[in-house]
Amino acid sequence: MFMGHYAPAVWDTKRGSSAPLIPLWLGFLAVQFIDIIFAVLVMLGIEGGGTMVDGVPIFDIPFSHSLLSTLFLSCVGAVIFQMISKAKGPKVFFVFAMLIFSHWVLDLVVHRPDLPLYPGGELMLGFGVWNFPYIAYALEMGLLLAGFLFWMKVTQPKSTLYSILPWALFAVMGLIQYAFILAPGLEVQAGTFDINSGPQGVALGISALLTYAVIAVWVAWIERGRPSKYAA
């Protein structure tokens, strides 16, 4: 999953009638923490690449995306994010840990079986919704849309600019989802996908990290002009 990951960030941080517990831009980084670790491991040459199995790409992500490492990274990441966040305490730790772990749960739905239980484990998990590219696109963008609608509902724009910025971001995220998930998915279906095309190694890691950073900065910008309706 790619853009769909961001939905829980909105739901968990701006819950109904209470003031937001953590800044949304940090939530946006937390839900991608597993892929941020993946990007770092790719740059170090530890992960990345993959093999074609029965015509579909199976990616090599044993350390960032195994169930065991995700549980571990959820705890480590929650400690790091809590250090950055102004709010502290067990509740904040729990929210960050759940946001980070949500990444694995959503990946489980869309990934083709390349998620091991532990690094090196034989059993690979993944329900493979990415094998149905348009359904997967609708699912991910639908999740993201639900998150955005909720975000707009619980915040108030200071000016028209802050009514436009979120939807401009949504459109850009839809394009990224198209370019990096839907288009390759259609190629896999057509049998024309080349696992060695596109950026690899350091280039892949840097472009992934830049994407997460730009989205988080954009969200922080929107947050400045769209305070919570429930903020004290």
Cβ 103 to Zn ion shortest distance, Å: 6
Q: Which two tokens stand for residue 107?
A: 């990946």
Cβ proximity to Zn ion, 149 vs 210, nearer residue:
210
Cβ 107 to Zn ion shortest distance, Å: 5
Cβ proximity to Zn ion, 18 vs 51, nearer residue:
51
Cβ 18 to Zn ion shortest distance, Å: 29
Cβ 7 to Zn ion shortest distance, Å: 14
CB atoms within 10 A of CB 207: 13
Cβ proximity to Zn ion, 12 vs 114, nearer residue:
114
Q: Quick one: DSSP state of residue 204?
A: H
Cβ 124 to Zn ion shortest distance, Å: 14
Cβ 152 to Zn ion shortest distance, Å: 26
Cβ 166 to Zn ion shortest distance, Å: 24
Report the SS3 class of residue 53.
Answer: strand
Cβ proximity to Zn ion, 12 vs 35, nearer residue:
35
- Residues near Zn ion (CB under 5 A): 35, 107
Burial 169-202 (b: 16+ CB within 10 A, else e): bbeebbeebeebbbebbeebbeeebebeeeeeee
Sign of CA dihedral 100, 101, 105, 108: positive
End-to-end CA distance of the chain: 35
Cβ proximity to Zn ion, 85 vs 102, nearer residue:
102
Cβ proximity to Zn ion, 101 vs 170, nearer residue:
101
Cβ proximity to Zn ion, 107 vs 140, nearer residue:
107
Are 165 and 222 within 8 A, CB to CB? yes
Q: Quick one: DSSP state of residue 87?
A: -
Phi and psi based region of residue 14 (left: phi greater than 0; alpha: psi -120 to 50; beta: remaining):
beta
Identity at 43, one-letter amino acid code: M
Q: Which two tokens stand for residue 101?
A: 């772990």
Are 173 and 6 within 8 A, CB to CB? yes
